[in-house]
Amino acid sequence: MASSETQTPTEYIQHHLTNLTGNVGGSQVNVDTVLMGWVLGAIVFGILFLISRGVKQDGVPGKAQAFFELLYEFVDTQVKDMFHGNRRWIVAVAFTVFVWILVMNSIKFIPVDLVAVIAHPFAAYWKPVPTADLNTTLAISLSVILLMMVESVKAKGIGGYINELFNAPFHAHNIFAKIVLLPFNFAFQLIELISKPLSLALRLFGNMYAGEVIFLLISLLAAAGIGGVIGGALLHAGWAVFHILVVPLQAFIFMMLTAVYLAMAHEAH
C-alpha cells in the first residue's frame, strides 16, 4: 500500500502493473523496463567480462571462474547434444539469453511493495521486472528469430533459404505440383515465422506477469488487518519459494528453444 490511502484493490494492482513512461525521440518508452534491463545486463555481463579477463588457462580456477565455467558448460552441453558442428555462435546466443533472462526474472524475488516504497519518492510508477513487460520478451525472441534467419541463410545460401520458404514443408517433384503447393508452403512458413517468436515471448511474459499479479493479490491480504499481514507474509514466502523453480525454468526453456531454433536453421527440410 505504498502509494495512497484511498486506493481500491483494482487500482492498487493496476498501479503496480503500470510502467513508468518517458519520451525518447517522440516515441513512448517504458523507462523502468529499459533501465532495469540495461542496468542488470550491464552488471552481470560486466562481472562476466571482468572474470573473463582474469581467467586462468591452466591450474586451479578461482571460485567465480569455476561458477561461470559451470554455467558455460551447462549451456554448452545442451547445445552440443542438439547441434554437431561449430557451435560457438549458438552457445554465445543461448548463454546471453539464459543469463540475461535469469537476472531479469530474479527481480521477482524482491517484494513488490518494497520496490514501490523505494521508487515512490522518485517516480510515480515503477514496474521492476523487465521480463513482465512484453517489450523485453518480444525484443529477445524477435532477435532470436532474426539470428535464426541469418543462420539459415548462412547454412543454405540466400537461394536455398528462399527455396525453402516456398518448397517446404510440402515437397513435390514435378513443376506443376510445386506451383500448386507454393502458396500453402509459404503460408505455413509464415505461420512458423510468426508463431515462433510469439510463443517464445508470450510464454515468458505470461509466466512473469501472472506471477507478478499473484504476488500483488497476496500483498492485498495485508489490507485485512494483522491476520492478513501474517497470512500474506507466509503466502508471499511460499509463492517466492515456488518462483525459485519458475524463474530459472523459464530462463532455461527460453534458452533451450533459442538453441533448438538456431540449430534447426542449419538443417535442410
Exposure string of 34-61, with b = 16+ CB inside 10 Å and e = fewer, is bbbbeebbeebeeebeeeeeeeeeeeee
Q: If DSSP codes are grouped into helix, strand and coil, which group holds residue 23?
A: strand
Out of 7, 15, 64, 76, point to the residue binding other proteins (CB under 8 A): 76
Out of 20, 106, 126, 130, point to the residue binding other proteins (CB under 8 A): 130
Out of 7, 80, 89, 119, point to the residue binding other proteins (CB under 8 A): 89
Identity of residue 59: G
- Verify whether residue 53 is a known catalytic residue: no
Spatial CA neighbour of 147 closest among 32, 53, 261, 58: 261
Out of 6, 8, 10, 27, point to the residue binding other proteins (CB under 8 A): 27
Compare residues 69 and 164 and give the one whose CB is closer to other proteins: 69
Out of 3, 41, 217, 260, point to the residue binding other proteins (CB under 8 A): 41
Closest distance between other proteins and the C-beta of residue 242, in Å?
Answer: 26
Q: How many CB atoms lie within 10 A of CB 187?
A: 10
User: In the structure grid, which three cell numbers stand for residue 243, read together?
Assistant: 518462483
- Verify whether residue 207 is a known catalytic residue: yes
- Verify whether residue 88 is a known catalytic residue: no
64 sits near other proteins (criterion: CB under 8 A)? no
* CB contact at 8 A, 255 and 75: yes
CA–CA dist 27, 94 (Å, integer): 30
* CB contact at 8 A, 97 and 254: yes
**Between vectors from CA 219 to CA 218 and to CA 222, what angle results, nearest 5°?**
110
136 sits near other proteins (criterion: CB under 8 A)? yes
Compare residues 90 and 181 and give the one whose CB is closer to other proteins: 90
Spatial CA neighbour of 201 closest among 103, 107, 109, 97: 97
Out of 52, 81, 110, 269, point to the residue binding other proteins (CB under 8 A): 52
CA–CA dist 249, 108 (Å, integer): 14
151 sits near other proteins (criterion: CB under 8 A)? no
Contacting range for other proteins; rule: CB under 8 A; set: 3-11, 35-43, 176-184, 221-229: 35-43
* CB contact at 8 A, 170 and 185: yes
Out of 2, 16, 37, 83, point to the residue binding other proteins (CB under 8 A): 37
Contacting range for other proteins; rule: CB under 8 A; set: 1-9, 108-116, 126-134, 241-249: 126-134
CA–CA dist 249, 203 (Å, integer): 11
- Site of interaction with other proteins (CB under 8 A): 21, 24-25, 27-30, 33-34, 37-38, 41, 45, 48-49, 51-53, 55-58, 61, 65, 68-69, 72-73, 76, 88-89, 91-93, 95-96, 99-100, 130, 133-136, 138-140, 142-143
For the annotated catalytic residues, the residue numbers are 199, 203, 207
